[in-house]
Amino acid sequence: MKEEVEKVKQQRATAIQPLTQEDFYTENGRYVFTEAYHLKRGICCGSGCRHCPYEHVNV
């Protein structure tokens, strides 16, 4: 898992990627970001996201 996180961090540093349909879905009028989005983001945002692959390290 740590290797994958480091790889994504490196990718994130080189390019900002636009959102795609695999990055989120809507539920009850709210956006829910997927694990794919969080991996592209590269770090835990600390919001307690449902699909956080970083084990909520910043919460």
pLDDT tens for 17-54 read 788 999 999 999 999 999 999 998 888 989 999 999 99
pTM of the complete model beyond 0.75: no
Nearest residue to 19 via CA among 5, 6, 7, 36: 36
User: CA 56 to CA 59: how far, in whole Å?
Assistant: 5
What's residue 30's pLDDT? 93
Confidence at residue 15, expressed as pLDDT on a 0 to 100 scale: 62
**pLDDT at residue 29 in the model:** 95
Structurally, the chain folds into a number of domains equal to 1
Q: Which domain holds residue 49?
A: 1-59
CA dist., res. 34 & res. 45, Å (int): 13
**Beta partners for 31?**
26
